[in-house]
Structures are given as C-alpha cells and as structure tokens.
C-alpha cells in the first residue's frame, strides 16, 4: 500500500470537502454509499459496503448515524496513528458528519487506498 502522507497527521482538514468534488457531491446526496466504502476498507471486507450502507440508512431514520460513523473514524485514526482532531470523533460526527465522512474518504485515497474499489486494494 502506497503511503505518501506522514504518519500521525491528517492529510486534509475536516472542512476541505471540495478537495475531492466528486466525493463531496456523492456524500452530500447519498452518504450511505461513501460510509459503506469506508467501512468495507477499514473492516478489511468483513462488513460488505451494502450492509454498512443499510445500517447507516436505518440509523439515519432515527437521527443516530453518528453512533455508527464515529466508531469508524476512531478505527481509521488507530489504523494510521492520526490525532483526534479537531475534536472528539463523536463530536465530529455529531456536528459535522458529512464533512467527517468526506475527510475519512480523502484520507484513505491520499494514503494509497481507493475506497471505491473495496477491500481488495487494502489486503
């Protein structure tokens, strides 16, 4: 896996959503797709993106997506030794969930993983 980013630092900021316009638009209109791709990568294929998308959609109906998505932000941070910034993971996803999802997707891409391909590139 290619890693062009220094360990211990986010490659982009939380509000740099427009750095990847296509992902920004996809996440704004259908965040379950983006989170599904992120989950499949982080869980190394044990949770298919379709299942993650379904879980996100179900939680969206009761306005609790942040309970699910913040957990994967924590896992991503642990994977790449990233700081809990700009605030606690749960706060990022409670207050700025779509920005957090976009940042996590960009982080995977910037570290040489293409989340749109799925688990296979990360093995």
Tally the C-alpha atoms within 13 A of residue 60's C-alpha that lie toward its C-beta: 12
* Spatial contact of 96 and 65, defined as CB atoms under 8 Å apart: no
What is the C-alpha separation between 111 and 5, in angstroms, rounded? 6
Sequence ranges of the domains in the chain: 21-122
What mean pLDDT is reported for the chain? 91
Per-residue pLDDT tens over the stretch 76-99: 999 999 999 999 999 999 999 999
Using 50, 70 and 90 to split pLDDT, how confident is the model at 123? low
What is the C-alpha separation between 38 and 106, in angstroms, rounded? 10
What is the C-alpha separation between 83 and 60, in angstroms, rounded? 27
């Amino acid at each position: 896996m290619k890693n062009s980013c220094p360990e211990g630092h986010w490659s982009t900021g939380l509000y740099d959503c427009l750095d990847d316009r296509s992902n920004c638009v996809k996440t704004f209109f259908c965040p379950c797709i983006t989170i599904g791709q992120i989950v499949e990568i982080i869980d190394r294929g044990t949770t298919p993106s379709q299942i993650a998308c379904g879980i996100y959609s179900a939680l969206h109906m009761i306005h609790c997506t942040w309970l699910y998505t913040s957990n994967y932000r924590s896992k991503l941070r642990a994977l790449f030794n990233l700081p809990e910034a700009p605030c606690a993971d749960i706060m990022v996803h409670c207050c700025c969930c779509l920005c957090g999802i976009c940042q996590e997707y960009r982080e995977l891409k910037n570290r040489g993983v293409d989340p749109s391909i799925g688990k296979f590139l990360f093995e």
